[in-house]
Chains A and B, each alone.
Chain A
Amino acid sequence: MEKVILIRFSEIHLKGKNKGYFLKLLYTNIKTALKDFKKDITPIQNRIVVSNYILDEEDNIINEIKKVFGVYSISVAQVLDSNENAIVNYFKTIEVLGSFKVDCNRADKTFPIHSNEMAKRLGAIILENNKNAVVDVHNPETIFHVDIRENGQTYIFDKIIYSYGGMPLGEHRDGLLLLSGGIDSPVAGFQMAKRGLRQDVLHFDSFPYTSPQAREKVISLAKKIKTYIGCKYMYIVSMSNLQEQFHLHCKEEYAITLLRRAMIKVSNILCEKYGYKTIITGESLGQVASQTIESITVTNSVAQYPIMRPLISFNKDEIIKIANEIDTFETSILPYEDCCTVFLPQNPVIKPKIVIAEKEEQRIDLENLINIAINNITIIEL
């Protein structure tokens, strides 16, 4: 009798002809996540089984599997050959206190006993051997799952650990995540990764108006979310010259609107150059002046690639909850200035207009300044 980790996946089974592609992706991602552990990973029908691992590492292995998108749930199971005697003998050894139920899933239709019948038989064995055990099919304290699979093996477990679900992270880094150093953007990257979007990150800084510590903070955030979003490169583009020029020559209340449009323009260029297909931001509707529907409209109007805003409907507390879960919150709240707060206008415009933004941009040599910023890009391999 052997202990294994049984992995179930979420929506991949709905994928029809592409199912094989996604399964392979998931298998590869799990393999990558567990590369530091001794183990065997075997795909079986509708499950992936991790076996031959070191028992002391079980919790760590489960933690790593939990971070792989596309995994729906995980169980530590006892594996037996699918024959009635073996299963019955195992159930004779189980000790139960309190209420329980047996839940049988007969995926292997060649197994001679039907699910309900099997569950009843096994339940009776538990009752015979445990004086204090009672059956409760509605609200049991323990559920014994008997998963009879097509490979001739039966997996028995009583705990299900739920994971993030979603889709396995793609092979290609298709997304460019704008990572600010705040609480929201790492969470935005996480949310998109949950839908299978592998991303690299772009950070805008404003040295010398911001400190090298602020930059280090964002690098450490990028490293923290690397496990989830699969990023390889971090681009750092300095916006100091642009901010100075906006500040000197353009309407003060438009400073942030213009800066954000410039950021999207920089992102467009990087998408084109490096083949990203979408831009991801941590915007949440109405959170600040630059995130009103009008502000988003004015920023969005310069985008040449779709902008994904996964947090658009999230409340701050919902975002913080996820930030805590993915361990980015404590880093995000480190008190270093980020690029947006340096030339912060007293009263930023809440309902900017595209025509005014375009007119303000004509007051400076925007294209040239953006090119200079791009030419001075720093690229870090994470």
Chain B
Amino acid sequence: MNYKYFDNAATTSVNKEVLQEYINANNEYFNPSSLYTPSLSVKNKIEMARETILRYLGGANKSTFIFTSCATESNNAILRNCIKRKDKKYIVSAGEHSSIYATAKAMIEEGYNIQFAPLNSNGSVNQEKLFEMIDDKTAFISLIHVSNETGAINNIKYIAKKCKSINPNVLIHSDGVQALHKLKLNMVDMNVDFYTISSHKINGVKGIAGMYIANPNKFTPYIYGGGQELNLRGGTENYPAIMAFSKAITLSNYDYDYMEELKQTFLQNISLPYKLISLENCVPNIISICFPSLRGETLVHLLEQDGFLIGTGSACNSKNTSNRVLQEIGVEQKYILGAIRISFDMNKTKDDLIELANAINNSVIMYYNKTGYKF
């Protein structure tokens, strides 16, 4: 079946140029650490890719970008690197991606003092409460740049500045996986110490991601081996994926206004009562929307039968009936269960969004009829 894909926040299709780059690079199969000339050429190209990405991110002097296998690896490595002392205080937002949230939870179990900063109704961090939490013991703060659940934007530039004015020693990390290509990024301007991005969310290949590190001298190696990636992460470099990543990062065509138009078109065409979580200050390509007394998961399956693939952040099941982020926001349970996530890219048209809205209308009405729900 030829599906219409509306789950770009989960992953994206691979851009043809990027794929070609990947295929071509596979012909240069030489180990970058070997001593002969072809290897040197591969090594140089990796460094050029690193430069391209650093330039795109607006990295600071002496900063670096370390290639990793996925954003989860980057986030784990950064937390493990920055949370090392039991007499210090650490803060992560309650709306973090599970790769931060679960690591933080595990480290709390290990005895570290990690606190969760509460959220606003759109899923962004509550800045006032965050600033109140910071004191002279706070050493590290991690905030998602754009929420993978709701699309809510955290104003990292403002927050980082304010946090560092309260405690100049605090290190700031932002998980920018959903922000890449959607927001203008400048690491110096944002004043972050670490930033995570991933290739497969921007039409790149899977298996490659990375982390921006403002001051690599203070970063401890976390995979020991052959000294690759500035001695911080050993392991033979994934050269084809790195080349594809650096290609993908340059191919941004995101038009904020156009995406906003698509979002509004979608919402205008939903003819049933709903609760919109992605309200103001959200990237327009992610829409978190809930229908009462419905199961998001069932809606996903009904739409799949009609050829539409959408997401549900909600892990609704008999044992865990809640979506962590929506629960933190304070969304009522009857809406949380019926949460779906629509996410799309520039390839979609208004007609696509109208078609999706109609399919959702039909499926939801069918669901309500079959289950006898009155609204």
Given known pairs A244-B371, A248-B370, the reply for A335 and B320 (CB within 8 Å) is yes
Given known pairs A208-B302, A208-B305, the reply for A337 and B370 (CB within 8 Å) is no
Q: A209–B372 contact, CB under 8 A?
A: no
A338 within 8 A of B: yes
Residues of A within 8 A of B370 (CB): 244, 247-248
Closest CB of chain B to A21's CB: distance in Å? Answer: 45
Closest CB of chain B to A208's CB: distance in Å? Answer: 3
- Among A207, A335, A338, the residue within 8 A (CB) of B315 is A335
CB within 8 Å of A: which of B260-304? 295, 297-298, 301-302, 304
A305 within 8 A of B: no
CB within 8 Å of A: which of B304-329? 304-305, 315-320
Residues of A within 8 A of B304 (CB): 208
Interface size on A, residues (CB 8 A): 16
A343 within 8 A of B: yes
Q: A336–B317 contact, CB under 8 A?
A: yes
Chain B interface extent, by class = 10 to 19
Q: B318–A209 contact, CB under 8 A?
A: no
A362 within 8 A of B: no
Q: B301–A248 contact, CB under 8 A?
A: no
A129 within 8 A of B: no
Q: A335–B372 contact, CB under 8 A?
A: no
CB within 8 Å of B: which of A221-266? 244, 247-248
- Complex Cα spacing A248 to B320, Å: 27
Closest CB of chain B to A216's CB: distance in Å? Answer: 14
Q: B317–A209 contact, CB under 8 A?
A: no
Residue of B nearest to A245 (CB): B370
Residue of A nearest to B317 (CB): A335
Q: B320–A209 contact, CB under 8 A?
A: no
Q: B318–A335 contact, CB under 8 A?
A: yes
A211 within 8 A of B: yes
- Complex Cα spacing A341 to B320, Å: 13
- Complex Cα spacing A341 to B318, Å: 7
Closest CB of chain B to A238's CB: distance in Å? Answer: 12
Task: Indicate the member of B295, B317, B320 with the most A CB atoms within 10 Å.
Answer: B317
1/0 contact string of A323-334 vs chain B (CB within 8 Å): 000000000010
Closest CB of chain B to A375's CB: distance in Å? Answer: 19
Residue of A nearest to B295 (CB): A209
- Complex Cα spacing A208 to B371, Å: 13
- Complex Cα spacing A13 to B238, Å: 64
Residues of A within 8 A of B315 (CB): 335
Residue of B nearest to A341 (CB): B318
- Among B305, B317, B371, the residue within 8 A (CB) of A337 is B317
Q: B372–A338 contact, CB under 8 A?
A: no
Q: B372–A248 contact, CB under 8 A?
A: yes
Q: B298–A208 contact, CB under 8 A?
A: yes
- Among B298, B305, B319, the residue within 8 A (CB) of A209 is B298
Residues of A within 8 A of B371 (CB): 244, 247-248, 343
Residues of A within 8 A of B320 (CB): 335
- Complex Cα spacing A248 to B373, Å: 9
Q: B298–A335 contact, CB under 8 A?
A: no
CB within 8 Å of B: which of A291-346? 333, 335-338, 341-343
- Complex Cα spacing A336 to B297, Å: 11
Q: A211–B301 contact, CB under 8 A?
A: yes
- Complex Cα spacing A247 to B315, Å: 24
1/0 contact string of A59-92 vs chain B (CB within 8 Å): 0000000000000000000000000000000000
Closest CB of chain A to B340's CB: distance in Å? Answer: 13
Q: B297–A337 contact, CB under 8 A?
A: yes
- Complex Cα spacing A335 to B301, Å: 17
Q: B372–A247 contact, CB under 8 A?
A: yes
Residues of B within 8 A of A342 (CB): 295
Residues of A within 8 A of B298 (CB): 208-209
- Complex Cα spacing A208 to B312, Å: 14
Q: A335–B319 contact, CB under 8 A?
A: yes
- Complex Cα spacing A127 to B317, Å: 65
Residue of A nearest to B299 (CB): A208
Q: B301–A208 contact, CB under 8 A?
A: yes
- Complex Cα spacing A263 to B34, Å: 65
Residues of B within 8 A of A337 (CB): 297, 316-318
Residues of A within 8 A of B319 (CB): 333, 335
Residues of B within 8 A of A336 (CB): 317
Closest CB of chain B to A184's CB: distance in Å? Answer: 14
Residues of A within 8 A of B295 (CB): 209, 342
Q: Which residues of B contact A (CB under 8 A)?
A: 295, 297-298, 301-302, 304-305, 315-320, 370-372
Known contacts A211-B297, A211-B301; 16 additional CB pairs below 8 A are A207-B301, A208-B298, A208-B301, A208-B304, A209-B295, A209-B298, A244-B371, A247-B370, A248-B371, A248-B372, A335-B315, A335-B317, A335-B320, A336-B317, A337-B316, A338-B318
Instruction: Supply 22 A–B pairs (Cβ within 8 Å), ascending by A.
Output: A207-B301, A208-B302, A208-B304, A208-B305, A209-B295, A209-B301, A211-B301, A212-B301, A244-B370, A247-B370, A247-B371, A248-B370, A248-B372, A335-B318, A335-B319, A335-B320, A336-B317, A337-B297, A338-B318, A341-B318, A342-B295, A343-B371
Which 7 pairs across A and B sit closest by C-beta, in order of nearness? A208-B301, A335-B317, A244-B370, A335-B319, A341-B318, A248-B372, A208-B302
